Amino acid sequence: MTEKKRFYILGMGRSGLSAARLLRSRGAEVVIADEADEKRLCEPLQELSGLGVQMICGGFADPQDVRADVIVICPGIPRDNRVVRVADKLGITVWGELELASRFLANDLIAVTGTNGKTTTASWIHHLLITGGRDSILAGNIGMPLSSLVSEFDRDTVGVVEVSSYQLETVDTFHPKVAVITNLSPDHLERHGSMEQYRAVKARIFANQRPGDVTVLNGDDHRVRSLASRVPGEVLQFSMTTPVEGAYVSDGTIVLRRQGREEAVVAVSELGIRGAHNVQNALAAVCAASGIGLSAGHMVEGLMSFRGVEHRMETVTVLDGVTYINDSKATNPESVIMALEAISEPVVLILGGSPKNASYDGLAQVIGQRDVRTVLTGQTAGEIGQALERAGVMPVAVTETLQEAVDQARRLAKPGETVMLSPACASFDAFRNFEHRGSAFKEIVHGYGNKTRHRESGH
């Protein structure tokens, strides 16, 4: 696949670097470029030095100037980028990093996409497979690009891949054995243009499936459920309320129904993490694990022992009777609504970040119905504040930095209450990504605990 071909990679982020290393390990010629200058790209340039990769900083050269046979674009590079448009006109192949990596694998893949719940669902599926005795690797948009893990796959390894809409824009032959769509709500519309286009991009996850493959759809989400007629293989649905072919809740128990057989799997009360949205994630995971051949009996331990993922409803600590939760992964309003539904105690909520062309009115209405005080920060503070005012709610404070926001939240919270970072926005106004933002929040919170211990020790 790589012989005598010259690959031109756009972007020196994690995906781009992983793609470059993979291609060089297979003997391909590689050019990689980024719009940032050399000073900002110090780490990537150092990482690639000695690999025989041609590196271009400060902009993207035209594909004909670097004699490209294949363009590989990272998720952050839109499909309408000028270089990609030129490549299309010249008839040069364009792949994403996910497409590239999948071409080196003959293994069964479980791909998970959706607006919310992707990370938790993918992580839970991986956990079910491991505890159920299967060899599994977790990769994709969750943090480790698939291309960085290709060499770690054995013959029987199942790859569980979290897939974003950005990655699905550039798939061609990508073929998961099991495809999962958790839910769909307005998100990334600044890139996709409309909800219908966003939905169409998400549907590409099952476009190359065949009879014998499985697609898992959210039966409680009409935008997802209506995709069933387009699915080439078997459809399994999951529902909180309705008996479906797939997984559903009945009398407080998760039930798996497939090919005429029903099995009680585990009581909802025994799941390892709380919240109605996590029951949905568990149902999706059960369907996916069944689709890859895991029996219901082999899922029980994994459903009970899973404890969630970092940056998603992650309890950081309890300090002076206040619980601090890192929910930095909540980058749209619907995620925050689901997080609030999982908490019964009063909440001091930290909102704000970089814009995603989202409406905050629905979230504002939910906040107005709950015992929630809001601290706003970031570029979207004004926009969110206006939505709150329309709902008759006034933010308690507006701050410029996350440090100031957490300081304010700490002063506001009383014992028995929760401080939660659940921003409803992207992080690019002040952070590299949501992980960076979540880690910063945890560092601030742990700093409070360190100061308290320091005072108590008498130093």
Q: Identify the three-state secondary structure at position 8.
A: strand
Structure tokens at 421: 């970072």
Query: Looking at residue 289, what is its pLDDT?
Result: 98
Structure tokens at 12: 């020196």
**CA 179 – CA 224 distance, rounded (Å):** 12
**Cα 334 vs. chain centroid, distance in angstroms?**
14
Structure tokens at 345: 């105690």
Query: Looking at residue 3, what is its pLDDT?
Result: 63
Query: Looking at residue 454, what is its pLDDT?
Result: 45
CA-wise closest residue to 20 among 1, 60, 47, 39? 47
Query: Looking at residue 457, what is its pLDDT?
Result: 47
By CB atoms closer than 10 A (0-12, 13-18, 19+), residue 3 is exposed
Query: Looking at residue 195, what is its pLDDT?
Result: 84
Query: Looking at residue 162, what is its pLDDT?
Result: 96
For residues 438 and 311, is the Cβ–Cβ distance under 8 A? yes
Query: Looking at residue 38, what is its pLDDT?
Result: 85
DSSP string of 421-446? E--SSBSTTTSSSHHHHHHHHHHHHH
Query: Looking at residue 455, what is its pLDDT?
Result: 47
For residues 170 and 103, is the Cβ–Cβ distance under 8 A? no
Query: Looking at residue 260, what is its pLDDT?
Result: 86
CB atoms within 10 A of CB 64: 11
Query: Looking at residue 75, what is its pLDDT?
Result: 85
Query: Looking at residue 188, what is its pLDDT?
Result: 64
User: For 20-36, what is each residue's pLDDT tens digit?
Assistant: 999 999 999 999 999 98
Query: Looking at residue 357, what is its pLDDT?
Result: 80
Complete domains list, the chain, with CATH: 6-99 (3.40.50.720), 105-305 (3.40.1190.10), 314-456 (3.90.190.20)
Q: Please, which residues have CB within 8 angstroms of residue 73's CB and are 6 or more apart in sequence?
A: 9, 10, 11, 79, 81, 84, 94, 95, 96, 97, 170
| Residues in the chain with pLDDT values less than 50 | 453-457, 459
